[in-house]
Amino acid sequence: MENVIIGERLKEVREARKMTQEELSQKIGITRSSISAFEKGFKFPSIQTVEKLSKELKIPMAYLQNERPPRSNRIGPLSYRKNSRTSQAVQDQMSRLEEWLEDIYSIYNTYIDFPEVNFLPAEPVDYEFLSDDDIEKTADELRAQWGMGLGPISNLTDFIEANGIVIGRAFLESDVDAVSVWRSRRPHILINKTITSCARIRMSIAHELGHLVLHRLVDEEDYEDKDKHELMEKQASSFAGAFLFPRRSFYTEFRSTKLDALLLMKERWKVSMGAIVMRAKIFELINKNNIRTFYDQLALKGYSRKKEPLDDEIPLEPIKLFSEANQILAENRINIQRIIDETLLSKNDFYTITDIEPKFNEEKNVKIIQFRRIDD
């Protein structure tokens, strides 16, 4: 009997949809054991069943019937804020969606020269002995390497992409803001598309940047250790604050926890008011009473820790890497549909991950990617 699907591909997309074998089997009217057998390659579905799987999983049949594109190896585990509610299904989903980001990048990379990775060198430093001053210094060093100075970062996403980091978006669980990992010599960051606050997205990107810088050489064993993982999360958060709002600048500009003063700082630095207050606490510029008063004032205005003033007003920073790549390819008579077809993903998944508008405009200016000659 001819093999009509590849079992591992079925498992990939099922996990990307956060669906159990039982749930999938019920939706298409077959047994769970049949789904398990398909995934393990013990038996193969009829073409009619493949069509049902494709429709239910919202994936082209070609995805299930073809080997995946070559992927570079992950260097270490995925980094993300993990807590007791982060189920194995959620972890599997994040892993699969990051793999799709890698698939898309790999296809583009056969046509396009992406920016070189410009990162601090990986040094065998024991992260468990990093001090707060060490982390502040490391954040300042990366800013210096990227030519940022000590002022506000006008567009963090542009800086990230221009320095060789691949960013994508995906619909993740509400308790997961972002995911990051090193693949070979290039880092990836996947942002939760449900987040609509620019300040929160920038903090999430900077947090993952902290993992990529500070925990590049950490083993998976350490990520599985609760205490060590909590330490790494705290360090990544400290790095994020230091990177977005350097200590020297903070001392110069911070005045008080009054809402009007914090609003001005948030608008200028695109950092949440809560993050500014916590940074002031770290530097012992305020006390617990000041913090309590701040949150009381926020509540009186109808806001909360998760919803602040300006959250809906500061514009989001779009991902430009893939849209600019498409502009270059369009100039060389390669349209976006060809790329989508090569990834084998659905259009919806492709557009979500790349942050490209479905009605792609090929006439915008190209800024950060250099074109490499295509050998057809």
Taken in order of first residue, the domains within the chain and their CATH numbers are 1-67 (1.10.260.40), 73-376 (1.10.10.2910)
User: Which residues have CB under 8 Å from 157's CB, separation 6+?
Assistant: 167, 205, 317, 318, 319, 320
Question: Residues 81-107: pLDDT tens digits?
Answer: 765 567 889 999 999 999 999 999 999
pLDDT of residue 256 exceeding 80, the answer is yes
Report CA 149 to chain centroid distance, whole Å: 25
In the structure, what pLDDT confidence band is assigned to residue 191 with cuts at 50, 70 and 90? very high
Q: Strands 186-192 and 112-113: what pairing?
A: unpaired
pLDDT of residue 306 exceeding 70, the answer is yes
**pLDDT score at 82:** 61
In the structure, what pLDDT confidence band is assigned to residue 267 with cuts at 50, 70 and 90? very high
pTM assigned to the model: 0.92
In the structure, what pLDDT confidence band is assigned to residue 5 with cuts at 50, 70 and 90? confident
Angle between helices 288-300 and 273-282 (to 10 degrees): 170
Mean pLDDT across the stretch 22-49? Answer: 95
pLDDT of residue 44 exceeding 80, the answer is yes
Cα 239 from Cα 34, distance rounded (Å): 48
Mean pLDDT across the stretch 352-375? Answer: 64
Instruction: Render 312-338 in DSSP notation, one character per residue.
Output: TTSPP----HHHHHHHHHHHTT--HHH
**pLDDT score at 125:** 77
**pLDDT score at 120:** 84
Longest dimension (CA), the chain: 74
In the structure, what pLDDT confidence band is assigned to residue 376 with cuts at 50, 70 and 90? very low
- Indicate the SS3 state at residue 169: strand
Mean pLDDT of the chain: 92
**pLDDT score at 76:** 87
In the structure, what pLDDT confidence band is assigned to residue 163 with cuts at 50, 70 and 90? very high
In the structure, what pLDDT confidence band is assigned to residue 369 with cuts at 50, 70 and 90? low
**pLDDT score at 367:** 53
User: Which residues have CB under 8 Å from 38's CB, separation 6+?
Assistant: 5, 7, 10, 44, 45
